[in-house]
Amino acid sequence: MPLTQPLARHIIEVLGSAGAPPAKGVQYFNVGNHSLLNALDEYYFSSYLQDGGAGFKLVVGDYGSGKSHFLYCLRDMAWSRGFVVTKVDLSPVETPYNDQRLVYAAVANNIIWHEADEEVSDQKGLAYFLEGTLLRMVGAELTLEMVNHPNYRGLIDTLEATPIDSLAYKNAIIAYCEALIRGQDERTEVLLRWLTAEPTTPADGKVLRDLGVTGKITRTNAFTMLRSLAQTVRALSYGGLVLLFDEVDRMASIGGKAEKLATDNLREVIDRCRDELPGALFVYAVPPQFINDIVPRYPALQQRVRAPGRFSRTNHFSPQISLDHLDLDENHLLLGIGEKLFPIYETAFGVTFDRQVQYANAAILANVARDVFLDISARRLFVKAFVTELARQHAQGEHVLAEEEAMAIIRGQVDELTGGETAPY
């Protein structure tokens, strides 16, 4: 699909502001990870997961090395193969791994409804996902007249016939679909509270019991409910469920009893996702410090995430996807990114750059970012610096940067990204 001006403008705005990847459009400047993506597609998305298998992978990379970017690439690949995606971005003050009910809630609340049209915004939440799925299946507005639509009846019949571990969960999903079709807003709200593991009232309880929805989603049954969600996703004709958890430096900062509890529960999440979730791939993005400093303190977790080699087409069993080992060396990687960025800027602002000048600028900024400043990944530094310099030269005129200029530009970006402090993981 050709790059549109609004999307190009969005990409440049986000990259220039923070150097972090935008939620949409990473494919237009993606470089150097195609062998990893192709191996994941060949051995998981196009085969094993489609057949009901499940897996777990760690994406390992320093701050600014492209972990979030890679997760967006995985998300887009999953969508292209007919999978449902949930992407959970956790702050340094929270983790779901100390309560498995929170793992389920994080997945349900962050499940993404995605339209192929790039101009349509993605929506997060189980409510958007179920409503979007119904709309897509019946191909019309959800009204009472749709109750007898053959596609809708076929959907309900399929759900009723599908083995789902929790009967209460199955009943809740079917009742939610029926309430949506019939416009029963209060009932959908009650069911959604139950389905997202939120507290319910005594009045909610009466409604739920009448619909055959008993009990609550708790710490002890949370994985049964997560498995039931994965089974429901496949019953709705999707390939499976991809769970992307981007924790940044969370695990490197908690320590003590909280760390032990979180790592114990993470181990269980890994085991159960791999063994009990049909068609599911659990991907967890972490800094190297998690592997090198935290994991060795917990042998049971270490057995699951340590590997003799990194993930590749010839070693696709390995759980570790290393962003330090891509298809290009660091210099060619940065130049490849730069080569894709300035056409995006041109589309965004309707300008034309002197390509030789900007190739030269990309080369010198890449050299300085890579060789001089090592506390923060050269990738994020380069991206933010190059986009910012394109804007300056757009406004003030083009010229090839002197080395002193390039060093000042990179130094300024280091200060901006770290706030004058040491970069986080």
Element (H, E) at 320: strand 320-322
Q: CA 135 → CA 141, 159, 390, distances in Å? A: 7, 16, 43
Average pLDDT over every residue of 318-327: 95
Average pLDDT over every residue of 50-56: 94
Element (H, E) at 322: strand 320-322
Identify the band that residue 237 occupies on the pLDDT scale cut at 50, 70 and 90: very high
The DSSP string of 135-147 is HHHH-S---GGGG
- 81 pLDDT above the threshold of 90: yes
Model pLDDT for residues 94-123, shown as the tens digit of each residue: 566 667 898 899 999 999 999 988 778 899
Tokens 């999953």 map to which residue?
A: 78
Q: CA 84 → CA 38, 130, 140, 226, distances in Å? A: 19, 11, 21, 14
Which of residues 64 and 54 earns the better pLDDT score? Answer: 54
Structure tokens at 142: 């959800």
pLDDT for residue 424: 40
pLDDT for residue 305: 87
Structure tokens at 323: 């962003």
Which of residues 263 and 44 earns the better pLDDT score? Answer: 44
pLDDT for residue 376: 64
Q: In whole angstroms, what is the distance from residue 163 CA to residue 175 CA?
A: 17
Structure tokens at 231: 């089974």
Using a pLDDT cut of 70, give the percent of the chain over it. Answer: 93
Q: In whole angstroms, what is the distance from residue 216 CA to residue 199 CA?
A: 9
Comparing C-alpha atoms, which of 413, 371, 368 is closest to residue 389? 413
Q: In whole angstroms, what is the distance from residue 345 CA to residue 168 CA?
A: 52
Computed over every residue of the chain, the mean pLDDT equals 90
Are 326 and 33 a contacting pair, CB within 8 Å?
yes
Tokens 């969960």 map to which residue?
A: 169
Structure tokens at 78: 């999953």
pLDDT for residue 422: 43
What does the domain layout of the chain look like in residue ranges? Answer: 1-31+328-425, 33-322
Model pLDDT for residues 356-400, shown as the tens digit of each residue: 999 999 999 999 998 866 656 889 999 999 999 999 999 999 999
pLDDT for residue 248: 53
Cβ-based neighbour number of residue 209 at 10 Å: 10
Are 391 and 349 a contacting pair, CB within 8 Å?
no
CA Rg, the chain, in Å? 24
Q: In whole angstroms, what is the distance from residue 20 CA to residue 15 CA?
A: 6
8-state DSSP, 22:
P
Model pLDDT for residues 257-276, shown as the tens digit of each residue: 777 777 887 888 888 888 88
Chain CA centroid to CA 63, Å: 16
Are 186 and 64 a contacting pair, CB within 8 Å?
no
Burial string for 347-375 (b: 16+ CB within 10 Å, else e) reads: bbeeeebeeeebeebbbbbbbbbbeebee
Model pLDDT for residues 166-189, shown as the tens digit of each residue: 999 999 999 999 999 999 999 999
pLDDT for residue 287: 87
Average pLDDT over every residue of 137-148: 83
Are 5 and 347 a contacting pair, CB within 8 Å?
yes
Cβ-based neighbour number of residue 238 at 10 Å: 19
Average pLDDT over every residue of 301-325: 91
pLDDT for residue 252: 52
3-state secondary structure 224-264: HHHHHHHHHHHHCCCCCEEEEEECCCHHHCCCHHHHHHHHH
pLDDT for residue 304: 87
Model pLDDT for residues 244-261, shown as the tens digit of each residue: 998 755 555 556 777 777
Are 198 and 190 a contacting pair, CB within 8 Å?
no
- 54 pLDDT above the threshold of 60: yes
